[in-house]
C-alpha cells in the first residue's frame, strides 16, 4: 500500500532509498493487479530496481514494500541485507519525523 500521508516528502524518501540501497533502486513502483506486473507509480510504494537482460527491461526486482494503512511498516525481503534496511528505517525516522517499523520477510 503506498504511503498515503499528505505530509510525506516523496522526493526525500527516494533520496534515502538511493543512499542506502544504490542508485538503481527506486520506491516509485507499484503492483498493477490487473496485469500482475510492477509498474511506475506516483507515490512511494514498492522498493525495487529495473531488471534488465542485455539492456532490455524485464520488469522489476522487488526487495521491499511499504505496508499498513498509512505505510508505516516497511517489509524487507532480503534477510542478508537487513543492516541496510535497519539503517534506512532509522534515517527515515530521523529525517521525516514519522514512525516506520521494519518487518523482515524471508
Q: What is the pLDDT of residue 17?
A: 95
Q: What is the pLDDT of residue 54?
A: 86
The answer, yes or no, to whether residue 5 has pLDDT greater than 60, is no
Give the pLDDT confidence of 66-88 residue by residue, as tens digits: 987 667 899 999 988 899 999 99
Cβ pair 35, 43 in contact under 8 A: no
Cβ pair 58, 51 in contact under 8 A: yes
Q: Is the pTM of this model over 0.75?
A: yes
Cell (9 digits) for 75: 517489509
Say how far apart CA 106 and CA 90 lie, in whole Å. 21
Amino acid at each position: 500500500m503506498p504511503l498515503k500521508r499528505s505530509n510525506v516528502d516523496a522526493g526525500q524518501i527516494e533520496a534515502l532509498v538511493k543512499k542506502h540501497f544504490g542508485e538503481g533502486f527506486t520506491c516509485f513502483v507499484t503492483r498493477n493487479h490487473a496485469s500482475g506486473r510492477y509498474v511506475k507509480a506516483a507515490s512511494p510504494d514498492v522498493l525495487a530496481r529495473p531488471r534488465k537482460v542485455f539492456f532490455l527491461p524485464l520488469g522489476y526486482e522487488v526487495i521491499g514494500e511499504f505496508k499498513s494503512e498509512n505505510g508505516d511498516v516497511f517489509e524487507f525481503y532480503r534477510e542478508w541485507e537487513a543492516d541496510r534496511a535497519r539503517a534506512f528505517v532509522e534515517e527515515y525516522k530521523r529525517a521525516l519525523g514519522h514512525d516506520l517499523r521494519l518487518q523482515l520477510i524471508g
